[in-house]
Amino acid sequence: MTTLPGYRSNRIVELMNEPVEHHDADWLKDSLQQAIMLELATLPPYLCGLWSIKDPGADEAVFTAMQEIVFDEMSHLGLAGNLLTTIGGAPRLADEGTVPKYPGPLPGGVRPELIVSLGGLTKQALDMYSRIEEPDHPVVSDAATTDTSIGAFYTAILDAFRNHTDLITGARQLTRNMEHHGSGNSIVALTSFALVEAAIGVIKEQGEGTSASPENPHPGEPGELAHFYVFREIFHGRKLIRTSEYPAKWEFAGAEIPMPQTFPMGTVPPGGWGAGGASAPDPGTRELLDAVNTTYSAMLGFLQQAWQQDVPAKAKELLNKAVGQMFALQDPAQTLMGRPLPDGSGKTYGPEFLYTAGP
């Protein structure tokens, strides 16, 4: 098996620094593998935040907003995988070298100042989420950075596709109807440049919005904001509203958004809870942690296998298995969040999302 640049490499920065004339088929394959790693990296922290909400019924607005974002990220992962396979590549997901590692930076050197960790939904976590999604030119921001955004990386990928439309074959495409989550959110086969362009637009604009508006152009519900602005709304505890037409101005000055009651999940330490120290789990807790890690790893394995299939029916079967594993994570993860750490901090355990290779 070919060795890929590791999760904690600076490969995206290196790819972005290569001259445009070098943005060929190999550049695209390398870039899209990194994009897949980026999309996967957002899921564990967002899921920890979502699952830490104690009473979704009482905190429906925040829970629904977080759930919508998680569904979007799942779609983005699917579209990124299809972008790679349509040019003859093969996504690498079930690989110790490419899976996300927490706490740590995003893959490829994106946002190098940002450390992404696993924990419950807090103001600190919301600030971290929004810094992951922040566009280069947000219409309103108090969390500005100077590093290249994920959106800028996807723009470079789109430009490479535009210059090499002949690479698009439509091979090994996974599909899943997600219209119940809003128009434009399905995982679709990418068989033309127009479909590639639309897919990259969905990935970029659902996370960042556009330079003219904070709204998600591909919403589940009318008026839904892009992920960056949703996270900032919950962080500020106020809806984002337009306070001036000319010039256009938005402020976090709308209706109040109370922080939900959450399980006080602690921050998973490097290497997981069992890496030593006062957070070492008892056997029962270790069993739950292993169950989540095994299920998560199986999900990645099924996804990787699905994109390797030439028979669509077999690919669909494997994708369905991956989705089943995804939903099977929630119960043991939330059970962990109800178990206090033995260090007296008042915090609880939570999922580690460690990759474990199969037998």
Question: How far apart, in whole angstroms, are the C-alpha atoms of residue 247 and residue 78?
Answer: 38
- Half-sphere exposure of residue 61: CA atoms within 13 angstroms, side-chain side: 14
Three-class SS of residue 254?
strand
Q: Is the pLDDT of residue 1 over 50?
A: no
Which tens digits make up the pLDDT trace of 36-94? 999 999 999 999 999 999 999 888 999 999 999 999 899 999 999 999 999 999 999 99
User: Which residues fall within 8 angstroms of residue 43, CB to CB, at 6 or more apart?
Assistant: 70, 73, 74, 77
Looking at the DSSP assignment, which residues form a beta bridge with residue 262?
Answer: 53
CA distances, 131 to each of 128, 182, 204, 227 (Å)? 5, 25, 14, 10
Q: Kindly report, residue by residue over 225-277, the tens digit of the pLDDT.
A: 888 899 999 999 999 988 888 877 889 999 999 999 999 999 999 999 988 67
What DSSP line would sit under 52-93, residue for residue?
TBS-TTTTHHHHHHHHHHHHHHHHHHHHHHHHHHTTT-----
CATH topology assigned to domain 11-265: Ferritin (1.20.1260)
Flag whether pLDDT at 143 surpasses 80. no
Contact 68, 120 (CB under 8 A): no
User: For 344-355, how does the pLDDT look when each residue is reduced to its tens digit (9 = 90+)?
Assistant: 899 999 999 999
pLDDT tens-place string over residues 107-140: 988 888 899 999 999 999 999 999 998 877 666 6
Tally of residues, the chain: 359
Which of these, 111, 104, 115, 92, lies nearest to 34 by C-alpha position?
Answer: 92
pLDDT band at 340 (very low <50, low <70, confident <90, very high): very high
| The two structure tokens encoding residue 275 | 């890496």
Q: What is the distance between the terminal CA atoms of the chain, rounded to a whole angstrom?
A: 17
- Residue 211's pLDDT band, with cuts at 50, 70 and 90, is low
Spatial separation of the C-alpha atoms in residues 50 and 351, rounded to whole Å: 12
The residue to which tokens 């890690």 are assigned: 293
Task: Please write the tens of the pLDDT for every residue from 166-201.
Answer: 999 999 999 998 776 655 678 999 999 999 999 998
Stated pTM of the model: 0.92
Cβ atoms within 10 A of the Cβ of 329, count?
A: 21
Question: CB–CB of 46/102 below 8 Å?
Answer: no
Mode of pairing for the β-strands spanning 249-256 and 238-244: antiparallel
Residue 279: the pLDDT is: 85
| DSSP secondary structure code for residue 104 in this structure | B
Q: Are 243 and 326 in contact (CB under 8 A)?
A: no
Q: What is the mean pLDDT of residues 219-229?
A: 78
Quickly state the pLDDT bin for 147 (edges 50, 70, 90). Answer: low
Tell me the percentage of the chain whose pLDDT exceeds 70.
88
| pLDDT reading at 295 higher than 60 | yes
DSSP-derived secondary structure letter, 111: S
Query: Cα–Cα distance between 100 and 107 in angstroms, integer?
Result: 8
